[in-house]
Amino acid sequence: MAPKPVKGRRRAYTRWWVYAAGAAGGAAVLAFLVIVSGLIGGDTKDPPIVVPVPRPAGLAQEGHVLGSPSAPVAITEYADFQ
């Protein structure tokens, strides 16, 4: 007598093929969306150049000090004693 065919093995093979095809299709859709969004959207222009503002002409500068040495100074300290 010939052995009976195993039905479960064929079903498992079919499931593997379906999962692989689904994963490949999902990857293709994702790649398509990334390519289309790159072609349609996105700003290809360079960002604006920020130019530093020069200091006002009326301020005196000596070394790394800017302004008058006799100017009033107020120091406020914030502390948390926890």
Dig out the tokens for 57 from the structure. 């002409």
CA distances from 70 to 8, 57, 58, 67, 75 (A): 93, 19, 16, 9, 15
Task: Read off the DSSP letter of residue 70.
Answer: T
Per the domain annotation, does 74 fall within a domain? no
Tally the domains of the chain.
1
> Could you tell me if residue 81 is inside a domain?
no
pLDDT in tens, 40-79: 766 667 778 888 877 777 777 777 777 777 889 888 899 9
**7: pLDDT confidence band, cut at 50, 70 and 90?**
low
Residue 12 counted as domain residue: yes
Print the domain residue range for 7.
1-41
The answer to the question of residue 3 being in a domain is: yes
**Structural domain contains residue 75:** no
**Cα 57 versus chain centre, distance:** 41
Q: What is the pLDDT of residues 21-32, one digit of tens each?
A: 999 999 999 999
Instruction: For residues 64 and 61, give the distance between their C-alpha atoms in angstroms, rounded to a whole number.
Output: 7
